[in-house]
């Protein structure tokens, strides 16, 4: 059964994952950046603001939210890619100016 994942993008690089079907396998990877996809960061229950960073109360804790896991509650969600925020870009620019980064 092929069910496309409309609007789903890689949690790490933002590349489209529309070519994949549900359910995602534990071994599925992004074809663009090779990031593992069955990870907390791509799950609808992932929430850094709550205990164990997971809104599913009975799920076992997964320490590395960016590595493939065996969580039975995993449910991919669109919009998991956060990108680089303006604050991160400003911090990176400040570090480059301080330590003599690339001046092109």
Burial of 16 (0-12, 13-18, 19+ CB in 10 A): middle
Q: What is the pTM of this model?
A: 0.74
CA distance 97 to 61: 40
Burial of 6 (0-12, 13-18, 19+ CB in 10 A): exposed
User: Model confidence at 102, in pLDDT bands (50, 70, 90)?
Assistant: low
Over pLDDT 70: what percentage of the chain? Answer: 84
CA distance 101 to 104: 9
Domain carrying residue 60: 1-104
Q: What total of structural domains would you count in the chain?
A: 1
CA distance 18 to 48: 26
């Amino acid at each position: 059964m092929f069910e496309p994942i409309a609007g789903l993008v890689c949690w790490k690089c933002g590349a489209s994952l529309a070519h994949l079907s549900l359910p995602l396998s534990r071994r599925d990877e992004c074809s663009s950046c090779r990031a593992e996809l069955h990870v907390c960061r791509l799950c609808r229950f992932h929430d850094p603001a709550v205990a164990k960073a997971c809104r599913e109360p009975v799920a076992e804790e997964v320490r590395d939210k960016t590595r493939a896991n065996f969580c039975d509650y995993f449910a991919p969600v669109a919009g998991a890619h956060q990108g680089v925020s303006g604050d991160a870009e400003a911090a990176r620019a400040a570090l480059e100016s301080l330590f003599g980064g690339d001046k092109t």
